[in-house]
Amino acid sequence: IPLSELEKIFKETQQMLANYKCAMLEVETKFKVLNEQFSLDHERNPISSISTRLKSPQSIAEKLRRKNIPLGLKSIEENMYDVAGVRVVCSFVDDVYFLADCLLQQDDVRLLQRKDYIKEPKSNGYRSLHLIIETPIFLENEKRFMKVEVQLRTIAMEFWANLDHKMRYKKDMDPVMLTLTSNELYECASLSADLDRRMQAVRDMIEGSKNKG
């Protein structure tokens, strides 16, 4: 490839990643605004933490290769849903749904895909609500819709997913160890779901007593 062509590809890739980053920041801000608003109205924060991550060019390329999708900027924008990721960790399960609804009601947010791994956990026990949305960013001369993956989960779901990610997710493991750890981690996921249910019940009790009094 001639040097001038390489430079062009490099520049376009940088621009594309910058666009995804802007969209990611927009979505992060939307959640921060919702958190502020909610805490004024209800005197508590539904969001425990927000984190963002931009996929590296290397891991974008690996994912496309794994899925047999041609490598190219247009192909990335059409086929990759998680170049920009926003993770919102909430206190309670109903905060997860409340925040997802608030986000999706906004008139500059389009929903492309919703996967509810809370209602239907993955077979390993993983729970989270995943949304793929499109939101506009405003560039010098154009308005461009960008895809962002939003993962919403509770503190208990985050605890499990975080440790699962560190120890096992997408890692090679010998089959015996795989079965042993799968069973154990599935148990832990069930315990964490139970914890969420009980914490939610405590909060419902407190809210209920406030409404009566």
Contacts to ligand 0O2 by CB under 6 A: 82, 115, 122, 124, 126, 130, 161, 164-165, 169
Nearer residue to ligand 0O2 within complex by CB, 64 or 203: 64
Nearer residue to ligand 0O2 within complex by CB, 171 or 210: 171
Least separation in angstroms between residue 160's CB and ligand 0O2 is 8
Identify any residues that bridge with 107 across adjacent strands, giving them in sequence order: none
Length of the chain equals 213
Least separation in angstroms between residue 162's CB and ligand 0O2 is 7
Q: Kindly state the DSSP code that residue 117 receives in the 8-state scheme.
A: T
Least separation in angstroms between residue 148's CB and ligand 0O2 is 13
- Nearest of 194, 185, 195, 193 to residue 164 by alpha carbon: 185
First-to-last alpha carbon distance for the chain, in angstroms, is 74
What is the strand order of the sheet 129-138 is part of? 47-54, 84-90, 143-154, 129-138, 110-116
Nearer residue to ligand 0O2 within complex by CB, 8 or 165: 165
Least separation in angstroms between residue 163's CB and ligand 0O2 is 8
* Structural contact between residues 133 and 123, judged by C-beta atoms closer than 8 angstroms: no
Nearer residue to ligand 0O2 within complex by CB, 38 or 192: 192
Nearer residue to ligand 0O2 within complex by CB, 30 or 130: 130
Cα 1 to Cα 10, 37, 145, 156, 212: the distances in Å are 12, 52, 31, 50, 73
Least separation in angstroms between residue 35's CB and ligand 0O2 is 22
